[in-house]
Amino acid sequence: MSETHAAHPAPDPAHPAGANSAPPAFEERGSGRSPETPGAADLRARAADLDTADDLAKLRTRFTLPEDLVYLDGNSLGALPTGVAERMAEVVTQEWGENLIRSWSDGTWWTAPERIGDRIAPLIGAAPGQTVVGDSTSVNLFKALVGAARLAGEGRTDLLVDAATFPTDGYIAASAARMTGLNVVPVDPDRAAEAFGPSTAVVLLNHVDYRTGRLHDLPGLTAAARAAGAITVWDLCHSAGALPVGLDEHAVDLAVGCTYKYLNGGPGSPAYLYIAARHQQDFDSPLPGWNGHADPFAMTPGFAPAEGALRGRVGTPDILSMLALEAALDVWEGVTVEAVRAKSLALTDFFLECVAAYVPQGVLEPVTPAAHAERGSQVSLRTENASAVMAELIARGVVGDFRAPDVLRFGFTPLYVGFADAERAARTLSHVLGHIYE
């Protein structure tokens, strides 16, 4: 869901060397700082104090990260948890290599989708038995949207979709609408509740906007949709594992999300589908695969859905990726989402403070809301030549990503990102932009 970049060892940003020292598009400018603005030494000292006081700082040892790299792209691909490689070697050599097909019946393979779903459930505020892991986010979204339209029943005509949604969500919504006879109606999430009415069948919204990092009002919008008699489907790709979601608390109907971002499941790791318990008996999946059958091995010509969220299963699960994800979730042992959220807000606040101190006003435009209630776990900054800026940041060992046409994205994963990382990223950004402060 994002561009990939090759990371390179980082030279000291205070002493850039060679042709890669700065893109030619940027010029040296005056500091534009007032005398009371903190300097680099002050902010480095603050960062060190904050890291020392951080109860989550020790969790960085649960991840394998290159030395001298600031990794701020966990909102695209999470870092590698240390236990995954060993677990994968065991799965490949023992469970597959020696046990072969017996691992389906004698081992842990068959129950993986629901078992791992129950491990994700606390991170999205769901009770057990409502979350099943498998397939991609796009496939799960298709299941959820068509299933939601069928739950909504007849007489409703509209599928409301976040107008700024990730493109694939829009493509899937259009296909689901064609299948169910609904009309796709784009809505601004900030004004979506005004569009809910008797014609609204389904509402598809992103919890966090992937470009801007804006956090939308899941409790309020879900309540408004419910009052209008509509079924909600939430995309949690940029919020699960970064902040509390509260699916059960806020009576969300259906939700989907990926596991390779803040859940650190690995590239292409399987996604998940949440089906609220109250809807499970009536949830009619448009992809009735044999794995979602009440009796998969009966091989009957007619489909009888399994009980509960298991009816969200389709085909044979991708066991290698599934079990890698399960091992990755071990990093959450003893960690609460609330503690992660508190650090996320502190990190993004500090990063924005450092950017403001190091880069004169007018060079960068923050597009992520300042208000905590409206901010996810990323900071997006708009600037000219953003693609070149990000390429140079990566060359200097600060890995974020770029969104066309002019947005720099920096994802803050509190499990392994610290305050010194935030300060260094802002300082390196100032060097790349030609504002060199010491």
Q: What gap in Å lies between CA 342 and CA 2, rounded to an integer? A: 26
Q: Is the dihedral of CA 88, 94, 95, 98 positive or negative?
A: positive
From 261, 375, 396, 427, active-site residue: 261
From the list 118, 158, 209, 235, the catalytic residue is 235
Tell me the residue type at 278.
Answer: R
Residue 83, C-beta contacts closer than 8 angstroms, at least 6 positions apart: 62, 327, 328, 330
Q: Single out the catalytic residue among 150, 375, 409, 427.
A: 409
Catalytic residue among 26, 63, 71, 166: 166
Q: Which of 260, 283, 410, 419 is catalytic?
A: 260
- Residue 409 annotated to the active site: yes
Q: Which of these, 433, 276, 274, lies nearest to 364 by C-alpha position?
A: 433
Task: Name the β-bridge partners of 185.
Answer: 160
Task: Using alpha carbons, select from 367, 337, 329 the residue that is nearest to residue 210.
Answer: 367
- The CA distance from 256 to 233, in Å, is 8
Cα 121 from Cα 258, distance rounded (Å): 13
Q: Is 396 a catalytic residue?
A: no
Active site residue 106: no
d(CA 218, CA 208): 10
Q: Which of 336, 372, 327, 375 shows the shortest CA–CA distance to 55?
A: 336
At 247, the amino acid letter reads L
Catalytic residue set:
166, 235, 260-261, 409
